[in-house]
Structure 1
């Protein structure tokens, strides 16, 4: 009977002798590193290539019934994992370093591990929202197949919903899932922020034989998680700051006001439709951000972020769009532009606007 770490020694020795300049980092992760291995556990490796030739070191093999996977992760992907942009952050965070080509490579890797320890809370919440958006795709698939007893289909879709929600909950709690699926329930059920019936939802989605029950529980779990996400985002509210958050907005989107006005004048109904909806939505989101310091959770029902736009007294371009008569929309766009300028200027936003190229040249000279 061999010892699994003899395999890692063989791989590292091979790299040192045959391709020392092509591999930056070699590490192992998983149950052996976490102390939860059993006699049938595999040993998971990854390496970070330093050159394009380094990728050729990848190999998957079996020794005495135990599988081994020596697979490459580019520095860019390792960075994404450290930024919580992938669900397997633990691979970088909790691995054991076996080889480093140089002190610089070792230090670069350690910096990634340090980054994991100090994430931005709002960034994690944004990532959590992305995962929940993905969960909705699978809820839709279940709902569109509702009434058909296809147990395999519903179990596959339920698993997709569950894994995305649980990863989202980890992010909402400011952490990552430290173990693989099935082994991480203790961590998940001890999250400080979690749906009250989380254990019941998980049990139903995993053990139920009823397609309808899986669908209903999946929808309720996602909705409750969205509500927790909204609550956590609200805790980051730090008051209005238009001068920082709205700087440059009008200058950038002035072109959309012009495009929409031109579309109305030319009776270009399709263009008017798209830009009227887009302009109102963009302004509403920026107003929300300027007031609160974070972007709206788009999974919230009823587009609540639009309330700030309405309360500001801006015309409702979306309601005013009429393919048969674009004149009311054209007038509303002109009114919106005037009111919006007044709104942000009154809150300290300086609009960078020039009447001639010479005036712009003078500005550049003064700025320099």
Structure 2
């Protein structure tokens, strides 16, 4: 059996002799650290370069049939791991350090661990919910591949897509539960069982995805598991209590959007339907989203199916998209003017200040007095 730590010692000694200022951190993680190593296990080890020259110590090699991958993690990626943007969080959280260049490097590394330790804080909940939802987009890409392939998809590729979707769902569930996995490759399910938020039929769907010989059954299980996970994300988001604040969300919004409203008025006056189509739909949707954010204290989710328009309709803003008509632009033009007046009054009533001036002289008086 290869003495993997003797191999690591050779590398660390080489770094100390030839790259003492070029490598900040060397660490190991995985089966040897967790006491699960077998005779075929490699040593999972990495380094953080301190300079471009430090990257030269990277090496992949095999000794007596055992593979080794001494690979670099830049500080920027290590930071993403600590915030779960990169889901290899356990590497930073649980590794054992074998070499540290300086006290400053150690302090920087331990700061990353502090970030990880605060993952479960309420202040991180919305951020991690949003990331869980972003991960789910890849699942729906997989579902689209199922549909595009149709009857031509063979079982091997079907299983490849199922594996990709399962991995993304596991990742999404970890983020939703504000935690990370310490083991991978076949050990996700045992960790998910301990999570408080998970799909009720997770095991059934996973078994179908892994063991079924029917492409239709696998596809159906993938779709149902993705939808169940998405439902959990939506439920978790809806339980959050955000701070209602128009000044926080809509300061400067009207001044910027006024340019698009003017563009829409011009399109109506000139009868340019394509411009009117894109600007009207964009203005209406953008206003609906930011009204939702001002009321709820958060943006609508990626997979929101139009529920965010609730406040746009509740406040009786004009439906610009319904008035799009290449033969008659006047109703749309009148509605835009109505929206402008209504929005200004609405923002004033909510305490949102707007920088509007009647002349260049008025603007100059305002601007030069800013300190």
1:6 matched to 2:6? The reply is yes
Distance 1:326 1:89 in 2: 55
1:269 matched to 2:273? The reply is yes
User: Which residue number corresponds to residue 297 of structure 1?
Assistant: 301
Contact 1:48 1:75 in 2 (8 A): yes
| SS of residue matched to 2:68 | strand
Query: Per-residue CA shift, 1:1-44, capped at 9, x if unaligned?
Result: 43211122111111010011111111112221222222211111
Q: How many aligned positions are there?
A: 367
1:150 matched to 2:157? The reply is no
1:84 matched to 2:84? The reply is yes
User: Which residue number corresponds to residue 32 of structure 1?
Assistant: 32
Query: Per-residue CA shift, 1:168-204, capped at 9, x if unaligned?
Result: 1110001122211212221112210011111111111
1:95 matched to 2:99? The reply is no
- Displacement, 1:271? 2.0
Deviation beyond 4 Å, 4+ runs, structure 1? none
Contact 2:146 2:153 in 1 (8 A): no
Tell me the TM-score normalised to structure 2 length: 0.94
Contact 2:136 2:230 in 1 (8 A): yes
User: Which residue number corresponds to residue 180 of structure 1?
Assistant: 184
Distance 2:365 2:32 in 1: 66
Distance 1:174 1:225 in 2: 15
Distance 2:237 2:30 in 1: 32
Query: Per-residue CA shift, 1:86-132, capped at 9, x if unaligned?
Result: 22222222211221211111111111111112131111011111011
- Displacement, 1:72? 1.2
Write the mapping of 1:1-368 to structure 2, written as runs, cut at 5 A. 1-119=1-119, 120-148=124-152, 150-301=154-305, 303-368=306-371
| SS of residue matched to 1:146 | helix
- 5+ residue gaps, structure 2: none
Contact 1:233 1:294 in 2 (8 A): no
Query: Per-residue CA shift, 1:135-183, capped at 9, x if unaligned?
Result: 1010011122233451012111111211111111110001122211212
Distance 2:7 2:271 in 1: 72
Contact 1:276 1:317 in 2 (8 A): yes
Distance 2:11 2:3 in 1: 14
Distance 1:304 1:85 in 2: 28
Contact 1:189 1:198 in 2 (8 A): no
Q: CA RMSD in A?
A: 1.6
Contact 2:2 2:66 in 1 (8 A): no
Contact 1:23 1:47 in 2 (8 A): yes
Distance 1:322 1:156 in 2: 47
CA distance 1:19–1:272, shift in 2 (3 Å): same
- 5+ residue gaps, structure 1: none
Contact 2:208 2:217 in 1 (8 A): yes
